[in-house]
């Protein structure tokens, strides 16, 4: 309140002084240029200048109001541009989440061009274009993102590699990821995408070489990594044989791949299973039987026991005796009972084989056991039961067959 009084007093004093100055002398101003001539008192001229300044200030204020006004005054104002950009972002993200790819690309691309930090919107627009099959548009959007935000090269490259993998361009994805691996060797996401790509390509040897980095970087949980490593080494055993074809060279390649494993890995049931299966396919059934017998003696595993019945060792009677010893500790394992039935067939013990197959089926209705018992019963003359078991086994192989409709004549 005191400040207002002070300003009022100062205004009165200034007006008084100005009035005294005007009364004492009006002054004179003359401006002449060519044909132009202006004459006036000093105080009128000063008043005119003040009026001009006030008009210019008012014009500036009006222009500012127009530029920052709402859509009623100026629909192209900065505020409305920001509003349109925000709406494009919201709509584009919603479209992307709900799978409206064309709309998502349009809105996110518009938002990216308007924003100072456009990376996420370019990435979203590129993904939408990729879903529409517009590969060139997708790559172009990623290139534009790199131009606008070159510091985000890794994020853009990872997105590019992911999109390449989704559309089956595994060679291009591999090139992209290998380049990023050289520049960012410890990045967890680069390692994870390389792991997925090697799996997709079936490049198990490269995946095996990547394992130490995956383990060191803790890219996967320990249990998942261990399972992946066993799968990779098992598949690598098969690839070693495939590369050499058949014969002695394939056998040597298999042995080399097997010896590359650590002692602990050579005791893993999953890897022993893969190794023995490859030996069996190469005709080295004696070696396969020995490998399985050693593994099962060390640590019994049902899948190994099942394969043991499919290999022919050098001494079928001893093989049967060995398997029957396992029965004491695992009397309720249907896979072991199936194996015992098969070994009895090798030893021409028909009645005993039948009993083992029946016992296996009582524990588990398995198509293999159905087929083995059906073959045996057919040879023994029980064709009716044999046919029933063949039909049951076929239904167990694909239960959808049982649900499929059939013509009335066929059902009858």
Over residues 23-50, the mean pLDDT reads: 73
Average pLDDT across the chain, whole number: 84
- pLDDT class of 71 with cuts at 50, 70, 90: very low
Q: What is the DSSP secondary-structure string of 25-60?
A: ----EEEEETTEEEEE-HHHHHHHHHHHHHHHHHHH
Residue 410 confidence (pLDDT) above 50: no
- pLDDT class of 10 with cuts at 50, 70, 90: confident
Three-state secondary-structure class, residue 376: helix
Residue 409 confidence (pLDDT) above 50: no
More confident residue, 66 or 182: 182
Domains and CATH numbers, the chain: 326-399 (1.25.40.10)
Give the model's pLDDT for residue 275.
87
pLDDT digits (tens, 9 = 90+) for 92-131: 889 999 999 999 999 999 988 888 889 999 999 999 999 9
Give the model's pLDDT for residue 12.
78
Over residues 252-279, the mean pLDDT reads: 87
Give the model's pLDDT for residue 60.
84
Tell me the HSE value of 249 on the side-chain side, using a 13 A CA sphere: 5
Q: Which of 42-46, 194-198, 269-273 has the highest mean pLDDT?
A: 194-198
* CA–CA distance, 109 with 80 (Å, rounded to integer): 18
DSSP 266: G
Residue 239 confidence (pLDDT) above 60: yes
Residue 152 confidence (pLDDT) above 60: yes
pTM of the full structure: 0.58
The span from the first CA to the last CA of the chain, in angstroms, equals 109
Over residues 165-174, the mean pLDDT reads: 92
pLDDT digits (tens, 9 = 90+) for 242-264: 765 555 688 888 888 888 888 88
Percentage of the chain beyond pLDDT 70 is 87
CB contact at 8 A, 313 and 286: yes
Give the model's pLDDT for residue 247.
57
Residue 231 confidence (pLDDT) above 80: yes
């Amino acid at each position: 309140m005191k400040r207002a009084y002070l300003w009022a007093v100062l205004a009165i004093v200034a007006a008084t002084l100005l009035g005294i100055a005007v009364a004492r002398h009006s002054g004179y101003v003359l401006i002449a240029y060519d044909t132009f001539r202006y004459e006036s008192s000093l105080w009128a001229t000063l008043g005119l200048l003040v009026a001009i300044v006030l008009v210019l200030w008012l014009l500036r204020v009006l222009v500012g109001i127009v530029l920052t006004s709402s859509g009623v005054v100026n629909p192209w104002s900065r505020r409305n541009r920001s509003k349109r950009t925000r709406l494009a972002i919201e709509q584009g993200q919603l479209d992307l989440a709900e799978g409206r790819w064309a709309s998502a690309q349009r809105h996110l691309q518009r938002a990216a061009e308007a924003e100072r930090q456009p990376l996420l919107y370019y990435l979203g627009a590129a993904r939408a274009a990729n879903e529409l099959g517009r590969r060139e548009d997708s790559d172009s959007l990623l290139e534009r993102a790199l131009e606008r935000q070159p510091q985000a090269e890794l994020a853009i490259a990872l997105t590019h590699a992911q999109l390449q993998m989704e559309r089956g361009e595994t060679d291009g994805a591999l090139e992209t990821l290998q380049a990023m691996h050289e520049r960012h060797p410890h990045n967890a996401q680069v390692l994870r995408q390389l792991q997925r790509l090697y799996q997709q390509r079936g490049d198990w040897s490269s995946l095996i070489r990547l394992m130490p980095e995956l383990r060191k970087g803790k890219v996967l949980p320990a249990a998942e990594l261990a399972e992946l490593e066993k799968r990779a080494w098992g598949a690598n055993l098969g690839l070693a044989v495939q590369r050499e074809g058949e014969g002695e060279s394939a056998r040597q390649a298999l042995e080399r791949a097997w010896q590359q494993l650590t002692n602990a890995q050579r005791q893993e049931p999953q890897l022993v299973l893969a190794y023995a299966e490859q030996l069996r396919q190469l005709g080295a059934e004696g070696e396969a039987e020995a490998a399985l017998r050693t593994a099962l003696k060390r640590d019994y595993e049902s899948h190994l026991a099942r394969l043991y019945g499919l290999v022919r060792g050098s001494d079928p009677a001893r093989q049967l005796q060995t398997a029957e010893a396992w029965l004491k500790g695992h009397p309720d394992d249907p896979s072991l009972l199936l194996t015992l039935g098969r070994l009895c067939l090798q030893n021409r013990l028909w009645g005993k084989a039948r009993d083992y197959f029946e016992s296996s089926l009582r524990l588990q209705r398995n198509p293999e056991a159905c087929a083995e018992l059906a073959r045996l019963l057919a040879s023994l003359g029980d064709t009716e039961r044999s046919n029933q078991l063949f039909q049951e086994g076929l239904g167990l192989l694909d239960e959808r067959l049982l649900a499929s409709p059939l013509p009335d004549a066929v059902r009858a």
